[in-house]
Structure 1
Amino acid sequence: MSEVVIYTRNGCMQCRMTERYLKEHNVPFEERNINDEPQYIDQLKAQGFRSLPVVMAKDADPIMGFRPDSLKALVG
């Protein structure tokens, strides 16, 4: 399993931009799309998230939305 997980949904421009940023900077990640895997919706809501994308990385605070400034910390 990747150390970076990104929660996305279909039709989400910020989700696509976040994925593109991670790919361009060679950051391996696992995508969890809530349209394909709705079991993650309740998990995200229970943690207080109400919008996507949510990027979770080991030993880092979650990143909500397309935040290149915060995503920079994931680039090795």
Structure 2
Amino acid sequence: MTVRVYTKPVCKQCDLTKNALDKAGIAYEVEDLTEEGNLNAAKELGHMSAPVVVVGEESWSGFRPDLINELAKRIEDNA
């Protein structure tokens, strides 16, 4: 399962999200929203604030520790 995090520089919620994913042991790929095409990709998912976390067909925006914990549990259950 690929986890992709769209972030921007100097973003507290982005940093909190990446730290929570690291703490939960969840591997992820970072996409910089300031790079061409990434902002449009996040907007096409219907999100207007950073970070945007994409897991398969599911996505959310903002710092969501509840969803990160749920994702960690799902990954653990499938291991």
TM-score tier after normalising by the smaller chain length? 0.7 to 0.9
Partner SS for 1:18: helix
SS of match in other structure, 1:27: coil
Distance, in Å, in 1 between the alignment partners of 2:56 and 2:41 is: 17
Structure 2, unmatched stretches of 5+, are none
Residues 7 and 31 in structure 2, CA contact (< 8 A), matched pair in contact too: yes
Q: Which runs of 5+ in 1 are unaligned?
A: none
- 1:37-52 mapped onto 2 (5 Å cutoff): 37-52=35-50
Partners of 1:47 and 1:22 lie apart in 2 by 21
**Letter paired with 1:34:** L
Write the distance in 1 (CA, Å) between the matches of 2:5 and 2:31: 6
Structure 1 residue 21 and structure 2 residue 7: aligned? no
Q: RMSD of aligned C-alpha atoms?
A: 1.4
Percent of aligned pairs with the same amino acid = 30
| Cα distance between partner residues in 2 of 1:30 and 1:49 | 18
One-letter amino acid of the counterpart of residue 30, structure 2: E
Q: 1:73 aligns with which of 60, 70, 74?
A: 70
**Structure that is richer in helix per residue:** 2
Question: Residues 25-63 of structure 1: CA distance to partner in whole angstroms, max 9, x if unpaired?
Answer: 11000000112x23111122233211110101125x212
Which piece of structure 1 moves more, 16-25 or 38-47?
38-47
Do the aligned partners of 2:3 and 2:27 also contact (CA within 8 Å) in 1? Answer: yes
Instruction: Give 2:56's aligned amino acid.
Output: K
